[in-house]
Amino acid sequence: MSNTNEFLIKKLEEQYGKELSKTIIEGYSKKRYTTFRINTLKSNKDEILKILKENNFKLINVDWCDYAFIILNKTEEDIKKLQIYKDGYIYLQSLSSMLPVLALDPKENEHILDMTASPGSKTTQIAMITKNKSCITAIEKNKIRFDRLKYNLDKQGVTCCTVMNIDSLKLDDLFTFDKILLDAPCSGSGTISIYDENKMLTIENINKIKTIQLNLLRKALTILKPHQKMVYSTCSILSMENEEVINIIMKEFNIKIIPINLKNYDLPLLPTKIENTICVCPNEYFEGFFICLIEKI
């Protein structure tokens, strides 16, 4: 096992203790089921389920999300061969990745910012939930990822989104938003394989990432309208990138962390150090994910 993974195990044991760390490590090693959501901008549940049944797909409808499904008997490669995937009628997305948008609870006619939007999983989910009747601004600074974002928005039939190829930190402070999604860059400690080396998992790299996370969160709270909400999320389960970041920001801004109704979803949750935040434990259905719902006072 590499030094990188030894670093991760040490951090997990410091944060969660040895017994719970074993559960997390077991979750990393499990083969995760392929999951998807039906794109109701272009199709409907009955139509998609009929096609998948004809192609011998066995599915579970996720009980907390009517448009989300788990594939029991086939792979991601199998579903990518179908025309409904090629036409954007369905979108492959992890269940954990769907949760931040559900926590944000976007509404029609709201001005919504997705600060680090590529490849567009959450942007397209917001557009779908709001039936293309919100006003979304999606930002991606990397040109290759920006092009991928535009491709996915078009493929999914999104018509309510303005896409910007800039660094979110350079967005003019004259912009204001009703809701903001910051799915921040992170080490990926919730999604890795424990058996693969991840060069992001060093204290030096995590401290660099933490600085980026803090600056993005500061920017978000500057341009979020008063008394409105934003979601800070990462695909990390390390408190360095999650609770530690939130605690620093709570000292700088007049905010409160508000309850997320996802606690009723029967999720495999890990303990968190801030009340009302959620951290999902990796297993065969979920990636590790942290979600915090913030209200600007």
H or E segment at 112? strand 111-114
Give the full edge-to-edge strand order of the sheet including 90-92: 59-61, 68-71, 35-38, 90-92
Q: Which two tokens stand for residue 197?
A: 């080396």
Residues 6+ apart with CB under 8 A from 14: none
Cβ proximity of 108 and 86 under 8 Å: no
Query: Both tokens of residue 54?
Result: 């004809």
Helix, strand, coil in percent for the chain, rounding step 5: 40, 20, 40
SS3 95: helix
Strands 289-296 and 278-280: antiparallel
Sign of the torsion angle spanned by Cα atoms 111, 293, 291, 108: negative
186 catalytic residue (yes or no):
no
Q: 115: which 2 tokens?
A: 């600060």
- Give 171-199 as a DSSP string: S-TT--EEEEEEE-----TTT--TTS--T
Indicate the SS3 state at residue 88. Answer: coil
Active-site residue, selected from the candidate residues 161, 235, 279, 292: 235
Phi, psi of 31 (to 5 degrees): -75, 120
Catalytic (active-site) positions: 235
